[in-house]
Amino acid sequence: MAGKMEDIVSLCKRRGFIWQGSDVYGGMAGTWDFGPLGVALKRRIMSTWWNYWVEGRDDMYGVDAAIIMNPKTWEASGHTATFADPLVECNECHGRFRADKLVEGANESISTEEFKARNAKCPTCGKVNWSDIRKFNMMFQTHVGPVDDDSSIAYLRPETAQGIFTNYKNVVDTIYPDLPFGLAQQGKAFRNEISPRDFVLRDRECEQMEIEYFVNPADWKESFDALHDAYHKFLTEEMGLDADLIHDFEVAPEDRAHYSKHTIDIMFDYPNGQEELMGLAYRTDFDLMNIQKASNKSMEYIPKGGGERFVPHVIEPSIGVERLLLAVLSCAYREEEKDGKKRTILALPEHLAPYRFCVSPLLKNKPELVAKAREVYDLLRKKYGNVTWDDSGNIGKRYLKQDEIGTPKCVVVDFDSLEDDSVTIRDRDTTEQVRVKIAEL
Ligand SMILES: [Zn+2]
């Protein structure tokens, strides 16, 4: 049986995966903190992504740009003018809401007339008395340096993509890669959501993993399709997502961003409904041309074999770490009943599990067992790194706890181990136990 959203949220909290941000002070809306197990899972997802897309390929390179960028970046990209949500205010209680979320079937471009005609009730006070819609820019604004006037305004980046585009020329000038090539970045992005909701799905601070893949405009389709296929492979084979829960949704021309010629949203069936997991967009030369215009620097690529120079076009696969992590958790979560006993399992792929092994002595009050188990623990930790130790409660309880946090194998040292240098390994998914020589672990 797969989990419901509240079961997953509850497990995340109980076992130290994810907590509300600033929990001790009553929380901070739209922010989440990762505990010891959550950060372990998150880092494994991010490093698996990096190995797969950057280190595992000849045509990809990494960058790591600053979060605070020259504000010209956001003028050139259009964010200053258009990165906004439709905001309405209730004239009775002054609650503020996203207009498109108050009426069914609406999107961000809803007009005041359309909105008012629907007579939506205020979710707070129940009255129907709305202000006109105004555009609310979602970038977090700050001031850089000690001067606190308009000249010092800067923004926390609303996406990592522009940190890639602005380094395109640096990369071409320094390492001159063959086209097509991709630049990848992982990092924080910030959006001042009017109403953060749905656990980590719509938060104000998130971690993105983006690739800008630069191509000759003549070959864009081939690269688009290849990245699309590779991403499906990545999601199912590397992240352990169930292929039946992943759906491609081709975005209609009238719903696409104006610069995009082809966009596929990859949707995922989360426990509480279908949501966007990631996007794959053909952005044409929109970004590089904007930068060329705003910076007065050429963004042209000089083909190595000769021929005319041109500004490359771009395919962008973009995914949020938290969205991916929640998809991974919802595929891994299950509840099982066997012989009248209930257990919760996080059947995470072995390479994503916070701990690969849990090592225990059968009894904690037998020094010779504890010493032998420590030996095994040190050995495995040296080899794998993420190994945990548990000598609390009885062995059955330890298993249940490790099942719930996704540890694939529990290693138990018993009295026989002292004689035959073997241990019992118990499998999380099947609960089967096998005897293995310590030297073969
Ligand atoms: Zn109200």
DSSP states of 161-189: HHHHHTTHHHHHHHH-PPSSEEEEEEEEE
* pLDDT score recorded for residue 371: 96
Instruction: Assign 93 to helix, strand or coil.
Output: coil
Q: Would you tell me which CATH number, out of the four given (3.40.50.300, 3.40.50.800, 3.40.50.620, 1.10.10.10), belongs to the domain 355-440?
A: 3.40.50.800
Rounded distance from Cα 130 to ligand 1 centre (Å):
8
Answer yes or no: are the C-beta atoms of 45 and 323 closer than 8 Å: no
Rounded distance from Cα 164 to ligand 1 centre (Å):
42
At residue 102, what is the residue type? L
Distance from CA of residue 231 to its chain's centroid?
A: 14
Rounded distance from Cα 142 to ligand 1 centre (Å):
30
Rounded distance from Cα 93 to ligand 1 centre (Å):
4
Greatest CA separation for the chain: 82
Strand partners, 317: 280
* pLDDT score recorded for residue 2: 57
At residue 28, what is the residue type? M
Instruction: Assign 138 to helix, strand or coil.
Output: coil
Rounded distance from Cα 279 to ligand 1 centre (Å):
35
* pLDDT score recorded for residue 105: 86
**Where exactly are the structural domains of the chain?**
5-70+156-330, 355-440
What's the CA gap between 352 and 240, in Å, rounded?
9
Rounded distance from Cα 119 to ligand 1 centre (Å):
13
* pLDDT score recorded for residue 1: 47
Cα angle for residues 53, 57, 60 (degrees, 5° grid): 70
Rounded distance from Cα 382 to ligand 1 centre (Å):
59
Instruction: Assign 4 to helix, strand or coil.
Output: coil
At residue 63, what is the residue type? V
Residue from 405, 338, 334, 402 nearest 41 by CA: 405
Residue from 424, 373, 386 nearest 437 by CA: 424
Distance from CA of residue 45 to its chain's centroid?
A: 8
Rounded distance from Cα 158 to ligand 1 centre (Å):
30
Rounded distance from Cα 202 to ligand 1 centre (Å):
23
pLDDT in tens, the chain (441 residues): 456 899 999 999 999 999 999 999 999 999 999 999 999 999 999 999 999 999 999 999 999 999 999 999 999 999 998 888 899 999 999 999 999 989 988 888 899 999 999 999 999 999 999 999 999 999 999 999 888 888 899 999 999 999 999 999 999 999 999 999 999 999 999 999 888 888 898 899 999 999 999 999 999 999 999 999 999 999 999 999 999 999 999 988 888 877 788 999 999 999 989 999 999 999 999 999 999 999 999 999 999 988 999 999 999 999 999 999 999 999 999 999 988 889 999 999 999 999 999 999 999 999 999 999 999 999 999 999 999 999 998 999 999 999 999 999 999 999 999 999 999 999 999 999 999 999 998
What's the CA gap between 322 and 178, in Å, rounded?
33
Rounded distance from Cα 115 to ligand 1 centre (Å):
15
What's the CA gap between 101 and 105, in Å, rounded?
9
Distance from CA of residue 204 to its chain's centroid?
A: 13
What's the CA gap between 268 and 242, in Å, rounded?
10
pTM for the complete prediction?
0.93
Answer yes or no: are the C-beta atoms of 84 and 135 closer than 8 Å: yes
CA distances from residue 88 to 109, 112, 120, 308, 410 in whole angstroms, order as listed: 13, 9, 11, 51, 54
Rounded distance from Cα 198 to ligand 1 centre (Å):
22
Question: What CATH number was assigned to the domain covering residues 5-70+156-330?
Answer: 3.30.930.10
Rounded distance from Cα 103 to ligand 1 centre (Å):
15
Residues with Cβ within 8 Å of 354's Cβ and at least 6 positions away in sequence, in order, are 36, 37, 40, 41, 44, 386, 405, 406, 407
CA distances from residue 131 to 333, 401, 407 in whole angstroms, order as listed: 44, 52, 53
> Could you tell me the two tokens for 286?
């929109």
